[in-house]
Amino acid sequence: MALGLERMNAALAVLGNPEKKRPFFHVTGTNGKGSTSAMLESIAREAGFRTGLYTSPQLCRIAERIRLNGEPMADDGLADALERVLVAAPDATFFEAMTLAAFVAFDAADVEVGVIEVGIGGRLDATNVLERPLGTAITSVALDHTALLGDTHAAIARDKAGLFRRDVPVVLGPLDDEALAAALDVARDVGARPILRVARPGEAASDADGVFVVEARALPDGRARIELPDMVVETRLGLAGSHQIANAAVAAALTAVSSGPTFKALPGLLSRGLAAARWPGRLERIDKDGKAVLLDCAHNPHGAAALAEHVRSLGVSPDRVVLVFGALADKAWTGMLDMLGPLADRRVYAEPKGRAPVQASELSARFAGLLVPEGREAITRALAMAGPSDLIVVAGSIYLVGEVRGELLGVACDPVVAL
């Protein structure tokens, strides 16, 4: 990993600047950026555009990072793109090479609307080479990657706001006061416009100082209601979890104020696109051997809190929950486990492949559980422990979720790249 844009800009020039040939949305956030990006892409595809979606990391296969019209690109196409990239930029880091390959692939596929998810932060992330995106967004701000981005919400928000551009729309998720003030300062300094923000739950907010407020809430029948400046959208979201309502509001607002292709963002289009969105590993339920497995890529306390809220909303008591948990040592794993551990009276601890994991013995010392370091074996043991009406929850690391998902679906996973 090496943050900075020098290698990216040099390589893109050699490759003919494919990032300038296609219109892109650019999305960052501590959590929710992948889900929001998936919803944006779904809306664009529903509108009839050829789409490209770049996200990270993958769950099972490297090709999942680069999607064309909703599907991971073919291995031979990815190989061709990477071959071009590695000739043009032999000193690129892994993430830089994949980002360059995405731009090359989207150009070759004649993508009409692309969505780019930031890797880390924003200001110095390899994706931050778009001169004039269709729109930019910060979905959420929480403490993560603090060694790189800063140890306050304001510092992290300012780094993520490095995506903002003059006269390009900005949409902010329901940020806390500290992060919101920092993001708005940057947006105004660079001359970004229009600026929209999603109100926090229960917040009595109104338009002020050139900032338009988007209201979003759950309806009694389970649908989401999103009140944009010029329209109201009511739909049943394709992605589960109450926290996805705010992400859907960001995606809908970005589409509505896009500075690029005409989406004709009528309520019906937005409703269909949000309902059709799918994003693996995010409150994804997979039934295996007659038992329910809930996979969620929660890998920091902010994400764990959303997962815990969802599990509680299901009304499943701890004696019916089996938790499969593993985390990387550089994550705030104690905060995650303190939220998720009490949800289950049976716990299986694994050690995700990739960067250094938390030892399973350390996890068990905090909340007692079975130590099964291999993720694939851990889900096998959890399935054996669970009864037919029980719920198995898998979380703590994206790498662990990917490994377990591959085992459940019989998908061969590529070797882990520890980034």
Residues 288 and 203 in one domain: no
Give residue 32's domain range.
6-276
Residues 267 and 302 in one domain: no
pLDDT in tens, 342-356: 999 999 999 998 789
C-alpha triplet 250, 156, 182: angle, nearest 5°:
75
- Residue 418 within a domain: no
- CATH code assigned at 209: 3.40.1190.10
Residues 271 and 340 in one domain: no
Residues 258 and 310 in one domain: no
- Residue 331 within a domain: yes
The structure tokens listed for 160 are 């993520």
- Residue 139 within a domain: yes
Residues 195 and 129 in one domain: yes
Boundary residue ending a domain (254, 276, 298): 276
pLDDT in tens, 63-76: 999 999 999 999 99
* 390-397: average pLDDT: 96
In the numeric block, the tokens 């703590």 are attached to: 396
**Packing angle of the helix pair 267-276, 244-256 (nearest 10 deg):** 140
Residues 334 and 307 in one domain: yes
- pTM for the full predicted model: 0.93
- Residue 183 within a domain: yes
pLDDT of residue 10: 96
Residues 88 and 30 in one domain: yes
The amino acid occupying position 120 is: I
Residues 155 and 257 in one domain: yes
Residues paired with residue 224 on neighbouring β-strands, in sequence order:
218, 235
SS (H, E, C) the chain: CCCCCHHHHHHHHHCCCHHHCCCEEEEECCCCHHHHHHHHHHHHHHCCCCEEEECCCCCCCHHHHEEECCEECCHHHHHHHHHHHHHHCCCCCHHHHHHHHHHHHHHHCCCCEEEEECCCCCCCCCCCCCCCCCEEEECCCCCCCHHHHCCCHHHHHHHHHHHCCCCCCEEECCCCHHHHHHHHHHHHHHCCCCEEEECCCCCCCCCECCEEEEEEEECCCCCEEEECCCCEEEECCCCCCCCHHHHHHHHHHHHHCCCCCCCCCCHHHHHHHHHHCCCCCCCEEEEECCEEEEECCCCCHHHHHHHHHHHHHCCCCHHHEEEEECCECCCCHHHHHHHHHHHCCEEEECCCCCCCECCHHHHHHHCCCEECCCHHHHHHHHHHHCCCCCEEEEECCHHHHHHHHHHHHCCCCCCCCCC
- Residue 1 within a domain: no
- Residue 413 within a domain: no
Residues 72 and 36 in one domain: yes
Boundary residue ending a domain (276, 301, 319): 276
- CATH code assigned at 309: 3.90.190.20
- Residue 324 within a domain: yes
Boundary residue ending a domain (247, 276, 305): 276
Q: How many domains does the chain divide into?
A: 2
**Structure-model confidence comparison of residues 392 and 145, the more confident one:** 392
pLDDT in tens, 219-271: 999 999 999 988 999 999 999 999 999 999 999 999 998 866 666 667 889 99
Residues 192 and 240 in one domain: yes
Beta strand 66-68 with 291-295 is unpaired
- Residue 77 within a domain: yes
Residues 252 and 333 in one domain: no
Mean predicted lDDT score pLDDT of the chain: 93
**Structure-model confidence comparison of residues 203 and 92, the more confident one:** 92
Residue from 322, 303, 297 nearest 399 by CA? 297
pLDDT band of residue 124 (cuts 50, 70, 90) is very high
Residues 181 and 61 in one domain: yes
Distances (CA, A) of 97 to 5, 9, 112, 270: 12, 12, 22, 33
